[in-house]
Chain A
């Protein structure tokens, strides 16, 4: 049986408390995962300063070179997995097997991680807005003849990670060239990716002290969030709610991302159908950057009908089918629960499931031993309907029609908004909206990421703060 160890300053530790991760199709255990007790994490965090020093001892350019090397190792090499080796194919099968993400999508996500590691210099350039990165080595420098200095806000970056999609791990990767060691708590169903990234970076020459990897329970996760000076927290609404007010914790909760088609473009809505479908369904519809809302100023019902027809073509396939597009649920009861919740809310007048008539059978589908939810398009005639602004872990979208001048007051917090418009006034209003975190102006899919732009907060700004500096020689 494969064992996934705890990493304490990069060194493997086998716990006496082991949990199993099983293949969702067969139910057979794929691996045992060592679980860290809370106190073990707390004890290790006392070495955070020493761990950080190992990264401080390297220059940013050396760390960027390590990232570049790790990109290929992650994508192409066999890497240590406790006392065995994990090939890229093993990795893909394991991630797919325990998360239900089709293998083809695992491969795509792998490519995203490779790209970020490979293009880390551009990523940092975007995060720092073109800062001369040697300032990170010397502590200070000059820009436009003004002294410039940054002070680290933490000795370590905690990350309480999700299981939904491997690509999300690219968000914390810049911490390494930003000289901040990591304390990672992997998702219970997906311990694979963060472990493999750590191994690739260590193999590429990164000091092992930069990695703490702690599969753990609720109290261990809380310890990470409380004790790391800065942390990223991924999770659903109830998971992230207690931490919302903590400025040291950057929340990555529900996305509720949206496509908006404004008055000036709405008559051409058919041209944007492909883009809308890919925004909803790409990567299995599992990401917070997938659209869960399409907000339009007219033609709502027509658009919803067209989306329903298109999305109904996406049907569950075996996880190893190269054409598989949607992910299976690791727990069939969760799929049934979500479907039941949607059906219950559809009893509230003002919303209709338009996909129901296009698909054969129910929303919950059993295929090749796995449980799926078929894509669902809800036409919300009532913008106040409970399904008008929600998201689920599968391709689910609500189409809502409201006058343009009401849209920004109604959409609520939205991680990504793709606004299809050239209306300068509307664009100005979008730019001024605090509800919109990432803004795509024009026909850009919600899940198209430009790696030189920050995503859900700027990691550099989170880890460093500009310090006032005056220097007088002599």
Chain B
């Protein structure tokens, strides 16, 4: 046990060193006149220090304050494209849009890199290489739509797609149009059923918790040949996790994930009955770091097991977003061998927002 702890401590220390080195590299890139994004170069002019000189590790990012939500709402979106990538084709992805003008994030290859890394965590027996996928989740300007398709291709498969507009779903809920919502859900599910029945080689599914429930009410996914389900897109709790494993899709590999446009994709701790279905996510460090902070004092990290507000830092060469206070909260989880850095447990909307924002509806 001591050896195990020692090994984990060593791994955690190595991970921290890697993170600090990565921070230096990314800060160097984004604040260099040759490679940096116009936004950060302009931002640097407002500082009385050069971030490339002062920021030597992750903790030093405090010097930059907190990334502000409104910076990503509206244009010009090209201010975020690093000069070093000026000649590359650029994608733009949007966040949910449940709170006004959606935030936009540019991407060049980040979503592919994130999903290549995620692919490494998928067991081949449940997500067979060469098999096809069904992507039953939010489409349109969201990165998930392209990311899941890329994941399928990366693993040698083809991805079948169904359109889903979550903003329309949000509006139907806000208007109290329950019957219309039910019709729309059925419309989406009918298309998924048609695809599943017509294409024998689909073995893998991406979907959201609510659509998984709705789909499972119409078809036995194990009998339809589905072997692995990658589930995400909205928040999910331990009860849903248990219900999925015990009743919805018993015997199918169920992989909860937490992804968002700004961070990338956080993997779930491998299933362990001892966790009582708690969902514990680990961010893709060093490309992104999640810190749980005191909501009243974001400079203070909460203790393990304590609840804190999610503070997200994204650190890629395409996108730099230091210390952004998300509208989510969670409990801080200990590092594990596979992910020797902090995780987050029971991720959910901030308590103070729970009555004012419609989320997790698709």
Contact = CB atoms under 8 A, between A and B. Distances in A.
Interface of A: 15-17, 35, 37-40, 42-43, 46, 219, 222, 225-226, 241-243, 246
Given A37-B237, A39-B212, A242-B177, 10 more contacts: A37-B213, A38-B213, A39-B209, A39-B210, A39-B248, A43-B217, A43-B247, A226-B178, A241-B176, A243-B178
A137 B248 CA distance: 37
A225 B178 contact: yes
B213 A39 contact: yes
Interface string B187-225: 000000000000000000000011011101100000000
A42 to B, nearest CB: 6
A144 to B, nearest CB: 40
Contacts of B212: 39
Contacts of A46: 217
A225 B181 CA distance: 13
B178 A16 contact: no
Nearest to B237: A17
Contacts of B242: 16
B243 A226 contact: no
A22 to B, nearest CB: 16
Contacts of B276: 16
A221 to B, nearest CB: 10
A222 to B, nearest CB: 5
Residue with the highest number of chain A CB atoms closer than 10 Å, among B178, B179, B241, B247: B178
Contacts, number: 53
B223 to A, nearest CB: 16
A243 B238 CA distance: 31
A242 B248 CA distance: 30
A246 B179 contact: yes
Interface in B156-199: 175-179, 181-182
Contacts of B239: 15-17, 35, 37
B177 A40 contact: no
Given A16-B276, A17-B237, A40 B176 contact: no
B118 interface: no
B237 A16 contact: yes
Given A16-B276, A37-B243, A226 B182 contact: yes
A176 to B, nearest CB: 27
Nearest to B278: A16
B40 interface: no
B240 interface: yes
Nearest to A38: B213
Nearest to B210: A38
Contact of A17 (B213, B216, B238): B238
Nearest to A15: B239
Contacts of B181: 222
Nearest to B177: A242
A222 B177 CA distance: 10
B354 to A, nearest CB: 10
Nearest to B361: A219
A18 to B, nearest CB: 9
A37 B176 CA distance: 20
Q: Which 10 A-B pairs have the closest CB atoms?
A: A242-B176, A39-B213, A17-B239, A16-B239, A16-B238, A15-B239, A222-B178, A226-B182, A37-B240, A37-B239
Contacts of B277: 16
A43 B250 CA distance: 14
Nearest to A240: B176
Interface in B275-293: 276-277
A216 to B, nearest CB: 11
13 contacts: A16-B239, A16-B242, A17-B237, A37-B237, A39-B210, A39-B213, A39-B240, A39-B243, A39-B248, A226-B179, A242-B176, A242-B177, A242-B178
Residue with the highest number of chain B CB atoms closer than 10 Å, among A37, A222, A226, A243: A37
A36 B312 CA distance: 31
A430 B238 CA distance: 55
Contacts of A222: 178, 181
Contacts of A42: 213-214, 217
B181 to A, nearest CB: 8
A17 to B, nearest CB: 4
B238 to A, nearest CB: 4
Contact of A40 (B210, B214, B237, B247): B247
Nearest to A43: B247
Contacts of A219: 210, 361
A241 to B, nearest CB: 6
B59 to A, nearest CB: 36
Contacts of A15: 239
Nearest to A45: B217
Nearest to B212: A39
Nearest to B248: A39
A17 B238 CA distance: 7
A40 B243 contact: yes
Contacts of B238: 16-17
A302 to B, nearest CB: 43
